[in-house]
Amino acid sequence: MKRIDHLDRQILQILQDDGRTPYTEIAHQLKISEGTVRSRISRLLHDGVFEFVIRTDPVKLGLNVQTIIGLNTKLGLQQQVAEELSQLPEVRFVGAFSGKHDLIIQAFFYSNTELIHFVNERLSRIEGILGADVSLELRQYKDSFSYVREDEVAINEKG
Amino acid sequence: MKRIDHLDRQILQILQDDGRTPYTEIAHQLKISEGTVRSRISRLLHDGVFEFVIRTDPVKLGLNVQTIIGLNTKLGLQQQVAEELSQLPEVRFVGAFSGKHDLIIQAFFYSNTELIHFVNERLSRIEGILGADVSLELRQYKDSFSYVREDEVAINEKG
DNA sequence: TATGAAACGAATACCAA
DNA sequence: TTGGTATTCGTTTCATA
């Protein structure tokens, strides 16, 4: 995989704001040709650096109950638990972490009833879960995917 | 805002997989006209139900250190702290929660050095933060934005 | 269904190793 | 001279009225 250079990052920054910005418009903004934009985007897509998606508003879809759940798992069963959780449609994110919880997941529900059902019925039936700390989202301040920064190394190992 | 119906959800499901699926292709898959697809997408965009974005792979951009940080804040200063955190480019997500932590954030860094710098320099200077539990992501199992489900109410208030 | 805009494929030009 | 990248242009596909 070729290294991502400054021009790639500039293209990504524009697409972060609007995933539908035409190649011609990107080319114009960056003062390069449309072909360059196209070939770079093809390469970045091919290398899996990014993909075109849509971001839906969970609340507008009726998913009013948003949670982050920290889980502790039995030694040796963490991966299996993580994989089972990943199958569930309510679960958006699953990661293994160091820290107070072995696994942290993010899950969305249509109602508190559905959340309770999830914890009592779904989680309780997964072998290897020792405990679950449910945090209920009261307010969201930021949920951005614009994390492409101009330069890779802001603070290097000596900083 | 008009209610989101089954057909809207089907359109969103297709776009979740590929945000650039042509209207004609969506129309063909759902056996409806292209005009219907277009008018529905316009309405959904207008209502803020979804937006076209790109999803970049943080690791491929060099953001190898991914964290979830739980914060406790001084009474009365939570909102101010949340807003300050939202300004920081390293921070992707900020939410207020009920549970063990008042605020939960997700942040990405280029290196452990940058993470340490963030905690010691950035966080420590924000007034109102009482404590921070840093969880370091060791492995990611799922990070999906495909949370549009076929039907809104899987389990209703009586279920 | 027609019109303009955007995306695409392929040939060519450029540049640096 | 060669491999990689940028440009250009003709064609096709798409969005839109």
Q: Is A157's pLDDT higher than 60?
A: no
pLDDT category at A153 given cuts 50, 70, 90 is low
Residue ranges of domains in chain A: 6-54, 59-136
Q: Per CATH, which fold does A6-54 belong to?
A: Arc Repressor Mutant, subunit A (1.10.10)
Q: What pTM was estimated for this model as a whole?
A: 0.90
List the CATH code of the domain at B59-136. 3.30.70.920
B46 close to B13: Cβ distance less than 8 angstroms: no
Q: Which of residues 83-112 of A touch strand C (CB under 7 A)?
A: none
Amino acid A152: pLDDT: 61
Tell which phi-psi region holds residue B76, choosing left (phi > 0), alpha (psi between -120 and 50) or beta. left
Q: Is B61's pLDDT higher than 80?
A: yes
The reply to whether residue B110 touches residue A154, judged by beta carbons under 8 angstroms, is yes
Q: Which of residues 18-77 of A touch strand C (CB under 7 A)?
A: 22-25, 34-35, 38
- Report the distance separating Cα A67 and Cα A104, nearest Å: 10
Question: Encoding tokens for residue A56?
Answer: 């839906």
Of B48, B49, B95, the CB nearest to A141: B95
Question: Encoding tokens for residue A27?
Answer: 């080319």
Give me the amino acid identity at A27: A
Q: Which residues contact B137 (CB under 8 A, 6 or more apart)?
A: A95, A96, A97, B66, B67, B68
Q: Is A106's pLDDT higher than 60?
A: yes
